[in-house]
Structure 1
Amino acid sequence: MKFSFVGLRRWWFGLSALMIGASIVALAVFGLRPSIDFVGGSLMEVAFVNATPSSADLTAALTEAGYESVTVQSSDANRSIIRLTSLTEEQHQAALETLKGKFGDLTEDKFDSIGPVIGNELRKSAFLGLVTTLV
């Protein structure tokens, strides 16, 4: 059976243009959400002794405790990755206590905090690298 891809090139170009257009509209409507590397913030990776709570439960617990911009990503083996706005050490310890109080025993495997100044420098460097690559 013969199939003429070249004969249908206008259809393929149209499909490609439609997908590119939909991508541009999605970027305009939803925008890009840069990671904490670019905007600054804190990242905690925690492992729960018992079953891992759902991302919605973790987000709700931290939001109720007054933390902003909480994003939770489930990982493997009872682990969760939690991204928040920049935390001081006191806020960091309070967040851990909030999680322990709501969900039981846990261990913190990783905590990183990146300030907005470092994020701005990284954003400028990334943009410069992108422009250099395109030229």
Structure 2
Amino acid sequence: MKHAHHPELGDITLTAVMAALSDPIRVGLVRVLADGRERGWGELRAPVAKSTLSHHLRVLRDAGLTRTRQEGTRCFVLLRQEELQTRFPGLMQAVLDAAEADDVGRQVGVKDGPDAIRFAGRG
């Protein structure tokens, strides 16, 4: 991935954000990233092939939900929470609250430590 495109704040549209959040795996990724920590792609755990996980991360990035950076051969992803709060006040918290209540994305996790995996919303 060379120089990933990230939409400017004013170019992020509600329809693109909502479309990106229409998949439970992507909602789970957002839930995991909502802790504010930048995560290496290798830390993320989902019941899909690596190529499919990469696709989901690209959809989130292209919609403006995440920021991706490359460091050597590793890629890192961060939820653009503050920017999204500025663009769509309250939207991300409402999405996270609804996802928690409905347990959407629970199958997505992050490797936290040598062998521990923490799943979305269970931190």
Question: TM-score over 0.5 for the alignment?
Answer: no
TM value normalised by structure 2 = 0.29
The structure where helix makes up a greater share of residues is: 1
Larger radius of gyration: 1
TM value normalised by structure 1 = 0.27
